Chains A and B, each alone.
Chain A
Amino acid sequence: MKLDSKIPEGPLAEKWTKHKFNLKLVNPANKRKYEVIVVGTGLAGASAAAALGELGYNVKAFCFQDSPRRAHSIAAQGGINAAKNYQNDGDSVYRLFYDTIKGGDYRAREANVYRLAETSVSIIDQCVAQGVPFAREYGGLLANRSFGGAQVSRTFYARGQTGQQLLLGAYGALNRQIANGKVTMYNRSEMLDVVVVDGKARGIITRDLLTGKIESYSAHAVLLCTGGYGNVFYLSTNAKGSNVTAAWRAHKKGALFGNPCFTQIHPTCIPVSGDHQSKLTLMSESLRNDGRVWVPKKAMPGLKGIDAMKLPEADRDYFLERKYPSFGNLVPRDVASRNAKIVCDEGRGVGSGLAVFLDFTDAIKRDGEATIRAKYGNLFDMYAQITGENPYKGPMMIYPAVHYTMGGLWVDYNLMTNIPGLYALGEANFSDHGANRLGASALMQGLADGYFVIPYTIGDYLANIGWADKIGTDHPAFKEAIQSSTDRMNKLVSIKGKKTVDEFHRQLGLTMWEYCGMSRSEQGLKKAKQIIQDIKKEFWTNVCVLGGNNELNQELEKANRVADFIELGELMVDDALARGESCGGHFREESQTPEGEALRKDDEYAFVSAWEFKGENQPEELHKEELRFENVKLTQRSYK
């Protein structure tokens, strides 16, 4: 299989402009003859559905939640990057591009990242026009804050709820198209399969979560905007319902999966409190603007709260400031996480032992409690609610947790997977963040893909195939897909084993965290592969799903998702094994510098892994898309 990334020729800064001109257009009268399916209603999905509806296409949008407004983009806290240079601090499109490529440890495509930086400025304009209430200065202009991995202030924010405000903006735009009749919304519907006929994506199979009815929908193109797969770890900052099923089923229908092992472990999450833990909560990275990260110089098990406040400065190790004086507490996420793990592995962790302090004492002394409260009030409240401790009266405790997956379905420059007519947008694709995503860039990518990329690129595909090239749901391929999805659901409810879905999910998650988490080794990964294969075998013979297939059955929904997570977990392990270098969030113990930093091997691994499904229980085949860097020089990433 030949991977064609379709990156346009020409100088970096002109690629997107030229490409847009070269793309075919669909004339306004013909747009209404096309149908497009959008799965997922987060930032990428809602913005794509709205933008395509505005253009005149007929859109069907699907979400598994009870309302499109619940999609997990809503939980993004810190902000959204844009190269506006409103602060006059030296920002530019090129600098945002450069920071993102470097932050991603040189494992992303230059052209994609440049386009992302270029469109970032339009996103802010669009959101403000929609009435998104961003933070403002007293003069009435927009405020910015700085974020990890950058030395300029380019992050726009709405207190600690930026994702919520942006998503509600996109939800509004989506609602407007629903009211206009251009988008038909299907809530509480979960995609189970994609239907491919003659090599093109023709529609999807869904399950109505209220009635259990398996349904089919056909269209000229299918957009998967279904988010990431962090929940493969069971504990993550993702929503409980976030899942890989749509992307995984597409993968099994032939779509390549790109860089599955690239996982982002976020450094500032609330530590695990016990075995009952069902999810982890992030504390926004923006807190690292004012909070200082430290542990005691000597091991002091159980240290916290007031006792920590009393510890003399001389006995504290502000390890990020010490090791990385120029970026300090604002090093990128992968670096901050790995260093927290290192000090905890040394036995210097605080609280339960798996935590480090995030201390605001100096910031409160400098700016006053009122200022800190105004900036981070809701985050401090959330911390107090979850831990029962007052973060104004003692340092917060944090520990890294799985937060985002840079990997995802492989797409070309047009955001199309290798299956014609099947697109992947936002976190669901692999494309823009390389091996590590910078803070405040996920929101940027989701909205760039939905508002400003897909409306152009999809037109080219649709104009080329023509509106008559559509297959109805009465085609045998749809009937077959309905049957196989129905069989799968029936199978899950008929096993009637002894272990609950959550027990399997926890077991998978612990395995992934232990062997395919912040630090990975060949030996550990090989062990993990065996464990995961055993989990899969046991799952399909011993899972217990009570209730039927034709009703609201939340255990069945979970079982269906966990079955896919298990298979994905194995592929992540394969990918981590195949990538014998360290880069960004992927840290192979065998590949580190003498100082213990990630050691990239550009000669061998400057490629995108794109995995092809070859049949049930068969090894997947690895394809490599070589990454060419024409504008940036590959250097060992340093934040010292």
Chain B
Amino acid sequence: MKIKLKVWRQKNKDTKGAFKTYNVDHASPDMSFLEMIDVLNTELIKKGEESIAFDHDCREGICGMCSLYINGHPHGPLQTTTCQLHMRTFKDGETITVEPWRAKAFPVIKDLVVDRTAFDRIQQAGGYVNVNTGGVPDANEIPIPKRIADEAFDAATCIGCGACVAACKNASAMLFVSAKVSQFALLPQGQVERKERAEKMVAQMDAEGFGSCTNTYACEAECPKGIKVANIARMNREYLGAMMTSYEGSTGGGGE
């Protein structure tokens, strides 16, 4: 199949970018979208033009490193990651527009590569249970109802790709943050620091410059892992609960 690609090219974070159009004449319907860009990149190199930079790693839909805003959708028209999107989804002769994630908190580094370290910083603010290695109870000590474990698992499957932010007109990170808050709010292991966690993660999210949630549900519609907006509602409850009870600051991260 033949494809026309309009791709965002930007030398680095300090220069202005622009769209550039390329033709890919020998795409196969069985190629993944990234393999199609691999083919284009090989052609570009042969012509002496620098290849298009894009993030990717596992290419099996789980590492969360690939991104790309394709035809107005993060990860393209299907609810999957870009690495799992195949060219059979597109029509022969179609023009496809490819942009990086667009969000203030995700600055463009080069071409289609953006900086998502804000997500790491939010997780560092409290996305864990404060336990040291060793000295923990037997794994079967605390039974957890299957329904609860499954619900926690569903929230925990977030891959941290940032599609929710890219999909949102406000560039809100609520779906991402609420997935982690929910996982631990549901599980018994997360109860001890439940309030503190919600408060700290939300504070960091705000500090990173992500927008507010206005309930458009675009994030859920585009999430490649099907994370539900019900998590956002849960996080709002958790956060409100934390703010309304008198929470005194503690030692934080839980070290010495």
Contact = CB atoms under 8 A, between A and B. Distances in A.
Interface string B63-79: 11100000000000010
Contact of A74 (B62, B137, B183, B189): B62
A274 B28 contact: yes
A352 to B, nearest CB: 11
B35 A278 contact: yes
Contacts, number: 231
A342 interface: no
Given A133-B156, A136-B144, A126 B252 contact: no
A66 B190 contact: no
Contacts of A385: 61, 78, 80, 84, 86
A175 B50 contact: no
Interface in A324-370: none
A129 B140 CA distance: 10
A494 B124 CA distance: 41
B30 A273 contact: yes
Contacts of B137: 125, 129
Nearest to A161: B157
Please classify the interface of chain B as helix (H, G, I), strand (E, B), loop, or mixed, using the class held by over half of its residues: loop
B58 interface: yes
Nearest to A501: B45
B123 A175 contact: yes
A128 B139 contact: yes
A140 B139 CA distance: 11
A178 B126 CA distance: 11
Contacts of A239: 57-59, 63
A67 interface: yes
B42 A500 contact: yes
Contacts of A546: 45, 48-51
Given A131-B189, A554-B53, A140 B145 contact: yes
Given A131-B187, A173-B128, A276 B28 contact: yes
A130 B129 contact: yes
B249 interface: no
A164 to B, nearest CB: 6
A563 interface: no
Contacts of B63: 65, 69-72, 74-75, 239
Contact of B152 (A133, A137, A278, A551): A133
B152 to A, nearest CB: 4
Interface residues on A, range: 35 or more
A172 B123 contact: yes
Interface stretch (A102-110, A179-187, A472-480, A622-630): A179-187
B239 interface: no
A455 B86 contact: no
B184 interface: yes
Interface stretch (B110-118, B164-172, B229-237): B110-118
Contacts of B65: 65-67, 70
A502 B62 CA distance: 23
Contacts of A278: 32, 34-35, 38, 59
Contact of A69 (B61, B133, B160, B252): B160
A50 B129 CA distance: 13
Nearest to B60: A281
Interface in A531-577: 544, 546-547, 551-552, 554-555
Contacts of B4: none
Contacts of A210: 109
A19 interface: no
B39 interface: yes
A526 B139 CA distance: 51
Interface string A268-309: 000001101111011000000000000000000000000000
A68 B30 CA distance: 31
Interface in A40-86: 47, 50-51, 54, 56, 65-72, 74-75, 84, 86
B21 to A, nearest CB: 20
A458 interface: no
A140 B84 contact: no
Contacts of B240: none
A594 interface: no
A282 B62 CA distance: 12
B12 A240 contact: no
A69 B124 CA distance: 12
B64 A125 contact: no
Contacts of B31: 274, 276
Contacts of B144: 136, 140
Interface in A364-402: 382, 385-386, 388
B128 A130 contact: yes
A125 B190 CA distance: 15
B119 A67 contact: yes
B134 A126 contact: yes
Contacts of B109: 210, 552
Given A66-B65, A138-B146, A276-B39, A124 B123 contact: no
Interface string A124-151: 1111111101111111111000000000
B131 interface: yes
A130 B42 contact: no
A168 interface: yes
B55 interface: yes
Contacts of A276: 28, 30-31, 35-36, 38-39
Given A72-B57, A122-B134, A180-B253, 9 more contacts: A54-B133, A66-B55, A66-B117, A136-B144, A176-B130, A187-B120, A240-B59, A276-B36, A386-B84
15 contacts: A47-B133, A66-B116, A67-B117, A69-B120, A70-B58, A71-B63, A126-B136, A131-B129, A135-B153, A240-B57, A241-B57, A274-B31, A385-B61, A388-B29, A552-B113
Interface of A: 47, 50-51, 54, 56, 65-72, 74-75, 84, 86, 122, 124-131, 133-142, 158-159, 161, 164-165, 168, 171-173, 175-182, 185, 187, 210, 237, 239-241, 273-274, 276-279, 281-282, 382, 385-386, 388, 451-452, 455, 500, 502-503, 544, 546-547, 551-552, 554-555
Q: Pick the 9 closest A-B CB pairs, nearest first.
A: A140-B143, A172-B128, A129-B136, A180-B255, A133-B153, A179-B253, A128-B139, A273-B30, A180-B253
